[in-house]
Amino acid sequence: MLVLSPTSADVHGAPAGSTCLPYRRPSRTEAEAAVQTLIGWAGDDPRREGLQATPGRVVRAYEEWFAGYGQDPAAMLERTFGEVAGYDEMVVLRDIPVDSVCEHHMAAIRGVAHVAYLPRDRVVGISKLARLVDVYSRRLQIQERLTAEIAEELERTLRPRGVAVIIEATHACMSSRGVRKHGASLVTRRLTGVFSTGELRREVLAALSGGLAG
């Protein structure tokens, strides 16, 4: 039986911006035992040859899938550049792969994120935008919160004139169980600052959807 007991020791050393749980983080041995329990509950024998190494593999996979809990989103945006030669148009990065996990059924969320911001005086390397999406994606998520978190971190750290984030994704919790509807995609978006209303809103939505308004 796994007991999650409150303690403050587990949050020490966690990076700023990471999600700190109010209980003791289970050990690797406990995590592997939990996987064995689920295998048995599913109806198979965790002792058989083909499944003996599965708990260890699953735990190692979890370390990758949920690596975002141990990373600081703000750190991804720390290094900025001011030598932009007077550039004052929006910066748009489209089709950033999103690989996340639904927190309700722990099923896959797969899709793309489109990110734009209008710099005030500094810009950030485009790879950092992709890394920011990855940090928040590699946590248990719902798509609406994922969209908001990416936009809010850009707003908080870069202080741009406006931010826009759109995510288009499919959810295995909808296609593999329940209603079993394949091919349906969920679209969520968050727009802030000058992108929230008016002509710039229309322009950034066109840019993020693939049509660059002139």
Which residues have a catalytic role annotated? Answer: 102-105, 143, 171, 173
Strands 91-102 and 140-141 turn out to be parallel
* Cα 48 to chain centroid, rounded: 35
Q: CA triplet 137, 3, 70: central angle to 5 degrees?
A: 25
Note the helical H segments in the chain: 28-42, 54-65, 126-137, 143-158, 172-175, 198-208
Whole-angstrom distance, CA of residue 34 vs CA of residue 28: 10
**Residue 26: CA atoms inside 13 Å, Cβ hemisphere, count?**
14
Distance, in Å, from the CA atom of 146 to the CA atom of 113, rounded to the nearest integer, reads 10
Q: String of b and e for 98-116 (b: at least 16 CB within 10 Å)?
A: bebbbeeeebbbebebbbb
